[in-house]
Amino acid sequence: MTQFYVMRFGDHDVVFPPRCNEDIKSGISALLIYVKTLKGLAGIRDAVWELLTSDSMSQNWEKVCQRLLDRPIRFWEDMMQQLFLDRLQTLIKEGLESISSDSMQLLLSTLQDLERNQDTLKHIQYESNICSFLWGESQSDLPPDAAWISVANRGPQHRSCLSLKAQAVTPCIQSFCQALDSRLKVKLEDLFSYLPREGSPAEPQNEPLRAGAKHSAFDRYGDAKTVQEMLCHHCLACMQNIQDSVKAQLQTAADTKLGDYNTYDTLCKVLFLARLCQSLSELCPHLKQCILGKSGVIEQTIRETKITKKSGKGRAADKPQVICKWQELKDKLVTQSLEAYAIWSATVVKNLVHSFMNAMLQTTAGSVLSTATQWEEIEIQEETEAGSSVTSKIRLPGQSSWYVQSLLFNLCQAVNRVGGHALPKVTLQALLRSCLDEVLTAYEKMCQEGLGKKSPNPITQTRALQLLFDLRYLCLILGSRAEDGKSGKAKPDSRVPQVADQLESCIDPFDLDVFTPHLNVNLNRLAQRTSVLFGLLTGAENQFTSRSSTLGVQETHNVLPLACSQIRFGLLPLSMTSSRKSMNRSGEDVKMQIPLSISQPEDTFRAGSLFRQLADQEDDTQAPSLFKLGWLSSMTK
């Protein structure tokens, strides 16, 4: 009878297995709808794996399939695996869409708070003026275990408030990034239950089973790569939605005609969006993990890529695809951050240069005197026709006009209010270029009005000297940064010589030849004196004077000169002493040098001799104190 049923079943095995397959799939898919977490899917998958690898199934399953269908049945691969992947993709998509929706809602509510609660909420005020936040002390500036755990041993999620202040990250940015990162962390923890644990190798298909049922079991983690690709795809889609929302807000701010009533609120929102895009990739470590996958897999991939590059077997451009996607996302965020900063810089320059132009174009005597500064009186030696020397006095501008100083000082204040130390270098360079461009436009307009033949208020020689001094000073300050981080000065604007020639045409040529050397000295002295005050604008790339050493020190030092005359104190050549001492050790043994006594004042009083003697001592030999009152008093002379 059993043989008869087997024969009858074999006659219909062409139609029966597909029908059973479809019925089983529809039934399982209907049940999987009630599974709401990836951990639940992983539990069902593990239960199926344990059932198929049990002793009872391994002994009878292959025999039954062979007698009924003349072939084995891969229950997981043919029936259930794709259903689980479809359900898993649905859960990942719904979860990340929920995160995206909540993040955009949080973004809109934060922007509304920036617009409405500027005076009531203190942390909202930090977006427009971050100085009070940066310079205010709090208990969270340093972590409680900072004394015994170094920064290198801390994870990216354990950042101190002091490090965030160094990056100009405000409390609003921190709260937004923490909210997004916490949601992604929950999603990742749920997903990792479906993936193999770090350090555990993939399960081969034949290892858990005995020889009689090697086709019954399956690799539970064989689709781990597919699952990570799903997570990466939907996470990028989630970030794209957030970026689209940021782009819409920036477009609205760019199209708004900024006036006194809405400039403050709009700039607060723009600065928040700029800092947010700048900080998302750093303050959301789980975002990086969602795209790159588990840290162990990615580190191994990067390590293999570096080894391949070193061995010469691959090209430098052959990077893993997920790393390229992560870098592409970071580049998009940086681009949006720069776009937001561009809106801020354009608004700041427009407002400041507008006040500058109004003050400079005033031609009345009272307005000119109110913005003028005191000139310096310089004695010069002139030779008469008879050959005798005559001393005469000339007066030249030694300071810039008040509206020039106000422009630069207000520009520095605007940069400091937004955290100039963390401002992108590209943004700062663009700010200086646009400000200089607007200033040159104002000078061109003034020359057109003051140099015409029918001008009611022509430019006099005295005012032309002051205007020329102001123009060169502005070009020296605003045009001192290098392009794209390269050394040297930036390429000057071609309009600068044209405006300077127009102003020099108002000065007597003989007087101009006499004034030019002294004018350049005053210009360099003023630039040196204000280089610290306007440090964010001048930068460290340009040193105004090349100071020659007169103390026998051959190496160059990165010291900012604050005066045109020779410095009072000599530099301390400790590095020269160290190098000289290492050279002496390579030859004969260096004898211990006895410290100089008080009977040699010419060496003791020389600046730097104290530290030379301290550096040359090789042991703890007792020596008289080197801190002599005469040596210290000579430094003040």
Question: Each residue of 354-389: pLDDT tens digit?
Answer: 999 998 888 777 887 888 888 988 888 877 777 788
257 and 280 share one domain: yes
The residue with greater pLDDT, 79 or 91, is 91
Q: Looking at the domain assignment, is residue 561 inside a domain? A: no
Q: Which residue has the tokens 């280089």?
A: 531
339 and 418 share one domain: no
Mean pLDDT within 285-302: 70
Distance between CA atoms of 41 and 190, rounded to whole angstroms? 10
Lowest average pLDDT, out of 55-69, 211-225, 600-614, goes to 600-614
Residue 52 region by backbone torsions, left for phi larger than 0, else alpha for psi between -120 and 50, else beta: alpha
The residue with greater pLDDT, 634 or 132, is 132
Q: How confident is the model at residue 430 (pLDDT cuts 50, 70, 90)?
A: very high
Q: How confident is the model at residue 243 (pLDDT cuts 50, 70, 90)?
A: very high
The per-residue pLDDT for 148 is: 72
CA 627 remoteness from chain centre: 46
Going by the DSSP 8-state scheme, the letter that residue 636 receives in this structure is T
Residues 6+ apart with CB under 8 A from 85: 223, 226, 227, 230
The model's pTM: 0.75
Q: Which pair of structure tokens corresponds to residue 446?
A: 């003034």
pLDDT score of 618 more than 80: no
Q: Looking at the domain assignment, is residue 300 inside a domain? A: yes
Write the single-letter amino acid at 358: N
298 and 377 share one domain: no
Mean pLDDT within 7-12: 49
Environment class of 378 (CB within 10 Å of its CB; exposed 0-12, middle 13-18, buried 19+): middle
Q: Are 499 and 442 in contact (CB under 8 A)?
A: no
Distance between CA atoms of 341 and 485, rounded to whole angstroms? 19
Q: Which residues of 412-444 are buried (b: 16+ CB within 10 A; e: fewer)?
A: bebbbbbbbebbeeebbbbbbbbbbebbbebbe
Q: Which residue has the tokens 């020397």?
A: 389
Q: In whole angstroms, how far apart are CA 485 and each of 428, 482, 535?
A: 12, 6, 17
Instruction: Give the containing element (helix H, strand E) for 394.
Output: strand 389-397
Q: How confident is the model at residue 403 (pLDDT cuts 50, 70, 90)?
A: very high
Q: How confident is the model at residue 199 (pLDDT cuts 50, 70, 90)?
A: low
Longest dimension (CA), the chain: 145
Q: Which pair of structure tokens corresponds to residue 479?
A: 């045009």
- Mean pLDDT, rounded, of the chain: 75
Distance between CA atoms of 613 and 626, rounded to whole angstroms? 9
The per-residue pLDDT for 540 is: 44
The per-residue pLDDT for 247 is: 94
381 and 519 share one domain: yes
Neighbours of 459 (CB within 10 A): 20
Mean pLDDT within 329-352: 94
Domain that holds residue 235: 102-143+156-179+225-349
Q: Looking at the domain assignment, is residue 199 inside a domain? A: no
The per-residue pLDDT for 258 is: 59
Residue 377: φ, ψ to 5°: -100, 125
pLDDT score of 619 more than 70: no
Q: Looking at the domain assignment, is residue 298 inside a domain? A: yes
Count of structural domains, the chain: 3
Q: How confident is the model at residue 440 (pLDDT cuts 50, 70, 90)?
A: very high
CA 400 remoteness from chain centre: 34
Q: Which pair of structure tokens corresponds to residue 215?
A: 């086709």
233 and 285 share one domain: yes
Q: How confident is the model at residue 598 (pLDDT cuts 50, 70, 90)?
A: very low
The per-residue pLDDT for 259 is: 54
